[in-house]
Structure 1
Amino acid sequence: MDIRPLRTEEDYKAALAAVSALVDADPAPGTPEGDRLEILSLLVERYEDSHFPLASPDPVEAIKFRMEQQGLKASDMKPYIGNTNRVYEVLNGKRALSLSMIRRLHAGLHIPAEVLIGAI
């Protein structure tokens, strides 16, 4: 098995092609092809993490996205944020999230805390 670190874009593209072919072949875990797929996937993931980092989403946009996903209205956010005025202030970016709001949003709506903490 000739696997080496991905150092260039050409290495990355070659690894992507190999991963694609292996995914199409659907090798069983624990087989040489399955092991190759697993290792190449880890190398591709590491390369992408270092060369194409994703910025954390804006906390308010994450809240709005979850509201849209769950069909929630501003009035539904009162248990997590506070009175209606406070909800609108947060959603319009005029008020920062407090630690207690972050805890309630994380526990109740399962928004990752690390996304919400960006608001502090």
Structure 2
Amino acid sequence: MTVKPIKTKKDYAQAMERLEMLFDAKKNTTEGDELEVLSILIEKYEDEHFPIGLPDPIEAIKFRMEQLGYNQADLAKVVGLKSRASEILNKKRKLSLEMIRQLHDKLHIPTEVLIQPY
């Protein structure tokens, strides 16, 4: 099969079918090269047609807190006050630039997630 650009849903379906056939191809073989190129084309098509948005900033904070075993008091140490942490988690207070910096630095949440409106 000749690798070609993926422009339609039909092209995408055919590419996915071919990808499945090539999935176990060895690197540095003709099929392995085809698999690599096909994967790139599929990823490009999916990025354009099935974009995944960024998570809600507050949900991202809650998720990260859960991962780290943090509670509201731990978040208060990052954002300043316990009442402020509560307001943030309940979406009653917007994140300030300084809070975004602290959350990024201390919890390693990407700034592009934190700066979104909610």
Same fold by TM-score greater than 0.5: yes
* Structure 1 counterpart of 2:50, from 52, 75, 82: 52
Residue correspondences, number: 118
Say whether the 8 Å CA contact 2:25–2:35 is kept in structure 1: no
- Where does residue 90 of structure 1 map in the other structure? 88
SS in 2 for 1:107: helix
- Where does residue 31 of structure 2 map in the other structure? 33
Percent pairwise identity: 51
Q: Report the Cα distance in structure 1 between the residues aligned to 2:19 and 2:91, rounded to whole angstroms.
A: 43
Say whether the 8 Å CA contact 2:104–2:110 is kept in structure 1: yes
Q: Report the Cα distance in structure 2 between the residues aligned to 1:71 and 1:45, rounded to whole angstroms.
A: 34
Q: Could you list the runs of 5+ residues in structure 1 that have no partner in the other structure?
A: none
TM-score by length of 1: 0.89
1:1-120 equivalence runs, <5 A: 2-23=2-23, 25-28=24-27, 30-119=28-117
Q: How far apart are 1:31 and its partner, in Å?
A: 2.6
Q: Could you list the runs of 5+ residues in structure 2 that have no partner in the other structure?
A: none
Q: How far apart are 1:32 and its partner, in Å?
A: 2.1
Partner amino acid, structure 2, of 1:42:
I
